[in-house]
């Protein structure tokens, strides 16, 4: 019987090595799938020892992904009620459907000043310490003007724009304060948060509204949606190791670019409409806890600085109003927020921001 040649032995050795690699890869894949299925079973099963792992922040970014909010409900947080067919929700001062303000009867011939925004405009303080209380109790202001607060908590920039679009026609020659939190840029890429919300997409450079109709059965709506997470174990590792990148803060992130593109389009629409109507207006930007002290500006503020400068749009930085009120280098955020657990502005902060807005109002020949 002929002995195997060296070439034959090499071929057999090569085939054996290839088979070993294939089996090893299959073993890794099968083990990975088994571990993922086991982890999902434990994560969503009735196991109290898994409580600490039922945190949506471990698997998704709430500023960039619907998955975070879907997991939040699946882990036990009830979804928010919806009370408006277009915006998802409005506060009690705003009439759903018509978007008239319930305090508009107090105008009495005075010029309406309309404040749009999110919870930083609506305030987490009592009304007397919020902008409507501070402005309308100011004798000089109240002689000619009356402020209507259209700020609604939890709104994204898209919802603020929609409320502006559907309410501005109720008023003759108003002054518009279009405010938003820098984080409202992030909410533009979401179709839901605590509850379903409308959102926009860009098609051929034009804004197209999506996310309608609003489902008035929020639990049913969330039950029909499922997170699009490929692997919970993989996401867990990535969010632990690379939080900055996977929270869409990287300049190479497609999600970050989508936020910038939508913000640019929405603010351009607002500015163009205000210019067309020949209304007096100013943008007011609140800044969240993305930086403290002398840390560099976050990417949202840098983007907005460039946007406002390029288009020469009137704007006020709320944080700058606070920093200007204290000696250089002594700014402490806790002096201007409600508490360590609530970073909404307190009365002192609202007073300083209101004063900066009034300064703009009077300096621009409107008094």
What tens digit of pLDDT does each residue of 310-325 get?
A: 999 999 999 999 999 9
Residue by residue, DSSP assigns 31-55 as: HHHHHHHHHHHHHSSS-GGGGGG--
What band does 294 get if pLDDT is binned at 50, 70 and 90? Answer: very low
Residue 119 lies in a domain: yes
What band does 361 get if pLDDT is binned at 50, 70 and 90? Answer: very high
* Predicted local confidence at residue 52, as pLDDT: 95
Residue 284 lies in a domain: yes
| Residues 63 and 50 occupy one common structural domain | yes
Instruction: Compute φ and ψ for 341, nearest 5 degrees.
Output: -95, -10
The larger pLDDT score, comparing residue 231 to residue 292, is at 231
* Predicted local confidence at residue 289, as pLDDT: 58
Residue 8 lies in a domain: no
* Predicted local confidence at residue 3, as pLDDT: 59
Instruction: Compute φ and ψ for 193, nearest 5 degrees.
Output: -135, -115
Q: What is the pTM of this model?
A: 0.91
| Residues 27 and 60 occupy one common structural domain | yes
Residue 63 lies in a domain: yes
- Given a cut of 80, is residue 104 above it in pLDDT? yes
Query: How many domains would you assign to the chain?
Result: 2
Are 72 and 66 within 8 A, CB to CB?
no
Are 324 and 106 within 8 A, CB to CB?
no
Percentage of residues in the chain having pLDDT higher than 90: 78
What band does 286 get if pLDDT is binned at 50, 70 and 90? Answer: very high
Residue 276 lies in a domain: yes
Are 104 and 170 within 8 A, CB to CB?
yes
| Residues 277 and 144 occupy one common structural domain | yes
Residue 205 DSSP SS3:
coil
The arithmetic mean of pLDDT across residues 251-256, rounded, is 90
* Predicted local confidence at residue 35, as pLDDT: 93
* Predicted local confidence at residue 26, as pLDDT: 79
CA atoms within 13 A on the CB side of 264: 17
* Predicted local confidence at residue 16, as pLDDT: 72
Are 227 and 70 within 8 A, CB to CB?
yes
Kindly give, in sequence order, each residue whose CB lies less than 8 Å from that of residue 360, ignoring residues fewer than 6 positions away.
282, 314, 316
Kindly give, in sequence order, each residue whose CB lies less than 8 Å from that of residue 264, ignoring residues fewer than 6 positions away.
307
| Residues 201 and 60 occupy one common structural domain | no
What band does 117 get if pLDDT is binned at 50, 70 and 90? Answer: very high
| Residues 38 and 72 occupy one common structural domain | yes
| Residues 236 and 288 occupy one common structural domain | no
Are 114 and 175 within 8 A, CB to CB?
yes
Residue 98 lies in a domain: yes
| Residues 118 and 199 occupy one common structural domain | yes
Between 299-311 and 254-277, two packed helices, what is the crossing angle to 10 degrees? 30
Eight-state DSSP code of residue 85 = T
Q: 199: domain CATH number?
A: 3.40.50.1110
Domain edge (last residue) among 205, 225, 247: 247
Kindly give, in sequence order, each residue whose CB lies less than 8 Å from that of residue 341, ignoring residues fewer than 6 positions away.
none
What band does 245 get if pLDDT is binned at 50, 70 and 90? Answer: confident
* Predicted local confidence at residue 341, as pLDDT: 87
Residue 138 lies in a domain: yes
* Predicted local confidence at residue 356, as pLDDT: 97
| Residues 33 and 180 occupy one common structural domain | no
| Residues 167 and 269 occupy one common structural domain | yes
Q: Tell me the residue range of the domain where 265 lies.
A: 84-214+249-363
Residue 5 lies in a domain: no
CB atoms within 10 A of CB 264: 18
Are 160 and 191 within 8 A, CB to CB?
no
Residue by residue, DSSP assigns 130-170 as: SHHHHHHT-HHHHHHEEEEEEE-TT--HHHHHHHHHHHGGG
| Residues 143 and 223 occupy one common structural domain | no
CB atoms within 10 A of CB 18: 10
What tens digit of pLDDT does each residue of 75-86 get?
A: 999 999 999 999
Taking the C-alpha atoms of residue 95 and residue 99, their distance in angstroms, rounded to an integer, is 5
Of all residues in the chain, what percent are helix, strand and coil, respectively (each to 5)?
Answer: 50, 15, 35
| Residues 49 and 59 occupy one common structural domain | yes
Which two tokens mark 226? Answer: 């499922």
Taking the C-alpha atoms of residue 53 and residue 60, their distance in angstroms, rounded to an integer, is 13
- Given a cut of 70, is residue 367 above it in pLDDT? no
| Residues 254 and 328 occupy one common structural domain | yes
* Predicted local confidence at residue 75, as pLDDT: 96
What tens digit of pLDDT does each residue of 149-194 get?
A: 999 999 999 999 999 999 999 999 999 999 999 999 999 999 999 9
């Amino acid at each position: 019987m002929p002995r195997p040649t060296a070439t034959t032995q090499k071929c057999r050795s090569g085939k054996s090595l290839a088979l070993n690699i294939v089996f090893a890869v299959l073993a890794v894949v099968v083990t990975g799938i088994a571990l993922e299925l086991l982890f999902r079973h434990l994560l969503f099963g009735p196991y109290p020892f898994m409580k600490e792992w039922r945190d949506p922040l471990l698997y998704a970014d709430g500023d960039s992904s619907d998955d975070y909010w879907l997991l939040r409900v699946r882990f036990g947080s009830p979804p928010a009620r919806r009370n408006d067919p277009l915006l998802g929700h409005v506060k009690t001062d705003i009439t759903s459907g018509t978007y008239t303000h319930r305090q508009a009867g107090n105008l009495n011939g005075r010029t309406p000043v309309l404040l749009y925004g999110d919870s930083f405009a609506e305030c987490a303080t009592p009304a007397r310490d919020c902008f409507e209380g501070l402005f309308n109790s100011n004798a000089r202001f109240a002689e000619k003007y009356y402020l209507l607060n259209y700020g609604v908590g939890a709104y994204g920039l898209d919802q603020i724009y929609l409320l502006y679009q559907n309410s501005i026609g109720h008023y003759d020659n108003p002054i518009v304060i279009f405010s938003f939190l820098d984080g409202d840029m992030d909410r533009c890429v979401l179709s839901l948060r605590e509850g379903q919300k409308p959102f926009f997409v860009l098609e051929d450079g034009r804004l197209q509204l999506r996310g309608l109709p609003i489902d008035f059965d929020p639990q049913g709506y969330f039950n029909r949606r499922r997170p699009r997470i490929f692997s919970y174990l993989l996401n867990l590792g990535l969010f632990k190791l690379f939080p900055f990148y996977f929270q869409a803060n990287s300049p190479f992130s497609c999600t970050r670019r989508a936020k910038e593109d939508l913000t640019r389009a929405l603010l351009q629409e607002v500015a163009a409409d205000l210019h067309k109507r020949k209304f007096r207006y100013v943008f007011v930007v609140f800044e969240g806890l993305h930086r403290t002290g002398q840390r560099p500006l976050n990417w949202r503020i840098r983007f907005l600085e460039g946007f406002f400068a390029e288009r020469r749009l009137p704007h006020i930085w709320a944080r700058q109003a606070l920093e200007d009120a204290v000696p250089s280098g002594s700014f402490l955020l806790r002096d201007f927020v409600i508490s360590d657990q609530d970073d909404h502005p307190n009365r002192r902060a609202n007073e300083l921001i209101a004063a900066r807005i009034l300064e703009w109002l009077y300096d621009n020949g409107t008094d």
